[in-house]
Amino acid sequence: MSNCIIRLMLGNHAIAHGAMEAGIAVAAGYPGTPSSEIIEYLLDNGREFGVYAEWSSNEKVAYEVAYGAALAGARSIVTMKHVGLNVAMDPLMSSAYTGVKGGFVIITADDPGMWSSQNEQDNRWVGLHAYIPVFEPYDPQNAKDLVKLALEFSERHGHPVMMRTVTRVSHVRGPVTVCSPEKPRYSEGYVKEPRRHALVPANARTLKGELLRRWSTIEEDVEDAPHVYIDGNKNLIITSGVAFTYALEAVKNYGVKASILNVVTPVPLPRKVITDAVTRADKVIVIEEGDPVLEQQLKALLYDEDIRVPIMGKMENLFNRVGELTINSVMDGLTKALGIVNPLTSIKTISIDYSPPQRPPVFCPGCPHAASFYELKVSTARSGARPVFSGDIGCYSLGINNPFNEQDLLTNMGSSLGLGMGIYHGTNGKTLVIPIIGDSTFFHTGLPALVNAVYNKTPMLILILDNRVTAMTGGQPNPTSMISIENIAKAVGVDYVRTIDPFDTKKAQDTITEAMSVVKGGGVAVIIMRRGCALEATRLNRGHVARYYVDANACRACGICYNLIACPAIVPLENRKAWIDPNMCVGCSVCAQVCPYNAIKPEGNVKEWLGKWAEM
């Protein structure tokens, strides 16, 4: 411990550092809130110790990279957000059959409350479904400790292990004891084991039996995991994950009289640990974030053991099943279960007669794809078309808002092309469909759908909004910087492929109009709208950013610039004339191009600045 220090760390950074202390050799992931900082930390800090880390093209590929390393005998982790695990389900289910040789931990970061997600799902169910044990931490220090334990547990059993975090573990900061990383544990070489690693039916049938026998030993071993029991009262609170911190606060600060058992492994349950604690209790209250995964298993367990004690939790609606837990909601449920007064309801609140102004989400100032949506809107309106805009996952999801209203459906990564094809065929070819997809999402899951569109001759105009990075999650790199989307589209047989700069508004509108005529003739058209992310461009080119201002004498207050482009840097004054905030403007030039009165003027060397921006 002499080489250890205490640092204030983000939960995700603590997980990454814990994996390095455990000697991981390989890490792979796909960015997605709230998981992204794990791979970012390893990219920044792991290379000097010899750790290989990568952003993969999607979660399935990331899973296979880390899984393959573990099959060879290396220690590895894979990271993703909760919905990303759906993309990786195919290799995940098979990995439980083959097992692994090196320690292998799947880190899934759930997003209760859907702060940045299209749904909320509890991935502890996946562990039950796949016969993969689930470890669940409650704070950054615990997360660091558990990832080390999980890697050792995985290697001991030759089996993958999942660690489920939630937003309040991944994105909080806390004191963490960090020590020097271990030397990465790479494999000396892959040993061929086709009977185990090749899942043809004859092998898979044998391995299912082996999987069940391995699961029995895992069920026994989780009894020795560092579950926490705090003896206090005949009332027993059983928790898992972040719920433990709320239960502790309720007992320590708000007068709740109860014992607490925190279960580190909600899948599988430590049966002896739980039955031992429950036999000392008169009443059991289960608190967990997400679905009643722990509660349902607990009721089945106690029924099997013929233990009859009242069990209350989310299934009795004591705690909210939508969104995150809070100390208020936990105290509300606990006091109802215990028949006591909730002290939090007696705390006087301060009432302020003030409503903050509404702040709907908007594109960043100078975002090139706000211009793309503007140009698409103008082009379709001028041609009299009424297309269905099939959207996708990315910051361009903001195109759903006014004034664009160009995301009619939007469900999951890569869905824009697939759902669009369904709408085209489902309406017997009567609908003009325009899928809109980002560059990172195109490489993630859009590419197979493009192949399908060409193969099944489905006419569509596909807009690929290329801003050179995975912008929504913080600007992570993706294949767009090295692999030509144009060449891919041409190679799979797309009839019409064009690349345009959304900052060239007239050319963009003309190209979109031309492409729609191709689609009406039965072809598939791809337009790549390419211009780097405004945030990345200004970060990389500080000192070169030019700006624009409004000539008040020339402005006629027509409102085109602030109503149709919706750039947050442009606002109307009381006289309806436009004003550009110099602290927000990044000199994209689009407002100057759309102004019919030449009232928006450059300040600085715009040509040089836009040239540097175009180099991204």
Report pLDDT digits (tens) over 171-229. 999 999 999 999 999 999 999 999 999 999 999 999 999 999 999 999 999 999 999 99
pLDDT at 346: 72
pLDDT at 350: 77
Phi, psi of 112 (to 5 degrees): -60, 135
**Mean pLDDT computed over every residue of the chain:** 95
Does 375 lie in the same domain as 483?
A: yes
561 labelled as ligand-binding? yes
Using CB atoms within 10 Å of the CB of residue 196, give its burial: 0 to 12 exposed, 13 to 18 middle, 19+ buried. Answer: middle
555 labelled as ligand-binding? yes
**Percentage helix, strand, coil for the chain under 3-state DSSP, each rounded to 5:** 40, 15, 40
Phi, psi of 517 (to 5 degrees): -70, -35
- Is residue 561 over pLDDT 90? yes
Question: Could you tell me if residue 347 is inside a domain?
Answer: no
The average pLDDT across 577-591 equals 96
pLDDT at 376: 97
Burial 159-193 (b: 16+ CB within 10 A, else e): bbbbbbbbbbbbbbebebebeebeebbbbeeeeee
Confirm if 130 and 92 have CB atoms less than 8 A apart.
yes
pLDDT at 431: 95
| Token code pair at residue 469 | 């990075």
The average pLDDT across 41-67 equals 96
Each residue's pLDDT tens digit, 470-510: 998 989 999 999 999 999 999 999 999 999 999 999 999 99
Q: Give which of 164, 139, 109, 11 is closest to 473, Cα–Cα.
A: 109
Does 527 lie in the same domain as 442?
A: yes
Each residue's pLDDT tens digit, 337-370: 999 989 888 777 777 888 877 777 889 999 999 9
Question: Could you tell me if residue 360 is inside a domain?
Answer: no
- Domain final residue, candidates 190, 223, 256: 223
CA 600 distance to own-chain centroid: 39
- The helix/strand/coil state of 109 is strand
Does 194 lie in the same domain as 50?
A: yes
Does 134 lie in the same domain as 217?
A: yes
pLDDT at 113: 93
Question: Could you tell me if residue 345 is inside a domain?
Answer: no
| Token code pair at residue 463 | 């807009």
pLDDT at 352: 82
Cα–Cα separations (whole angstroms), residue 310 to 59, 114, 337: 41, 32, 10
Does 410 lie in the same domain as 518?
A: yes
Confirm if 184 and 15 have CB atoms less than 8 A apart.
no
Q: What is the C-alpha separation between 469 and 93, in angstroms, rounded? A: 31
Using CB atoms within 10 Å of the CB of residue 315, give its burial: 0 to 12 exposed, 13 to 18 middle, 19+ buried. Answer: middle
Does 50 lie in the same domain as 154?
A: yes
Q: Give which of 533, 539, 550, 510 is closest to 588, Cα–Cα.
A: 533
Q: What is the C-alpha separation between 331 and 343, in angstroms, rounded? A: 8
- Domain final residue, candidates 537, 567, 591: 537
| Token code pair at residue 205 | 């049938």
- Is residue 91 over pLDDT 70? yes
Q: How does residue 158 score in pLDDT terms, banded at 50, 70 and 90?
A: very high
Does 524 lie in the same domain as 563?
A: no
The DSSP secondary structure of 4-63, one letter per residue, reads -EEEEEEHHHHHHHHHHHTT--EEEE---TTTTHHHHHHHHHTGGGT-EEEE-SSHHHHH
- The helix/strand/coil state of 585 is coil
Positive or negative: CA dihedral 293, 296, 300, 303: positive
Find the CATH number of the domain harbouring 331. Answer: 3.40.50.920
| Token code pair at residue 250 | 């309720």
395 labelled as ligand-binding? no
Positive or negative: CA dihedral 455, 461, 467, 473: negative
| Token code pair at residue 575 | 């006289």
Does 241 lie in the same domain as 115?
A: no
Q: What is the C-alpha separation between 100 and 155, in angstroms, rounded? A: 7
Does 106 lie in the same domain as 20?
A: yes
The average pLDDT across 377-384 equals 95
Q: What is the C-alpha separation between 371 and 375, in angstroms, rounded? A: 6
Percentage of the chain lying above the pLDDT 70 cut: 100
The DSSP secondary structure of 345-404, one letter per residue, reads GGSPPPP----PPP----PPTT-HHHHHHHHHHHHHHHHT---EEE--SSGGGGGGSTTT
Question: Could you tell me if residue 560 is inside a domain?
Answer: yes
Higher pLDDT, 43 or 359: 43
- Number of structural domains in the chain: 4
Range of the domain at 557: 543-615
367 labelled as ligand-binding? no
Does 519 lie in the same domain as 557?
A: no
Q: State the maximum Cα–Cα separation within the chain, in Å, rounded to a whole number.
A: 85
Each residue's pLDDT tens digit, 109-120: 999 999 989 999
Does 310 lie in the same domain as 172?
A: no
Candidate from 52-66, 346-360, 445-459, 538-552 with smallest mean pLDDT: 346-360
Q: What is the C-alpha separation between 368 and 186, in angstroms, rounded? A: 43
Q: What is the C-alpha separation between 602 and 521, in angstroms, rounded? A: 42
Question: Could you tell me if residue 350 is inside a domain?
Answer: no
pLDDT at 2: 61
Cis check for the bond before 403: say yes or no (omega within 30 of 0).
Answer: yes
Unique residue bearing structure tokens 């059983």: 238
Find the CATH number of the domain harbouring 607. Answer: 3.30.70.20
Question: Could you tell me if residue 106 is inside a domain?
Answer: yes
Cis check for the bond before 268: say yes or no (omega within 30 of 0).
Answer: yes
Phi, psi of 547 (to 5 degrees): -135, 175
pLDDT at 138: 98
591 labelled as ligand-binding? yes
| Token code pair at residue 7 | 């640092």
Unique residue bearing structure tokens 């004054």: 573
Report the relative pairing of strands 235-240 and 283-288 from DSSP bridges.
parallel
**What is the model's pTM?**
0.93
Each residue's pLDDT tens digit, 289-306: 999 999 999 999 999 999
- State the DSSP H helix or E strand holding residue 158, giving kind and residue range, or none if neither: none
Q: What is the C-alpha separation between 174 and 235, in angstroms, rounded? A: 30
The average pLDDT across 58-81 equals 97
Question: Could you tell me if residue 362 is inside a domain?
Answer: no
Report the relative pairing of strands 5-10 and 525-530 from DSSP bridges.
unpaired
Question: Could you tell me if residue 577 is inside a domain?
Answer: yes
> Any bridge partners for residue 570, and if so which?
580
> Any bridge partners for residue 230, and if so which?
260
- Is residue 1 over pLDDT 60? no
Q: What is the C-alpha separation between 152 and 155, in angstroms, rounded? A: 5
- Domain final residue, candidates 223, 248, 264: 223
> Any bridge partners for residue 228, and if so which?
262
- Is residue 86 over pLDDT 80? yes
Unique residue bearing structure tokens 């361009």: 396
Find the CATH number of the domain harbouring 133. Answer: 3.40.50.970
Does 375 lie in the same domain as 332?
A: no
Each residue's pLDDT tens digit, 389-425: 999 999 999 999 999 999 999 999 999 999 999 999 9
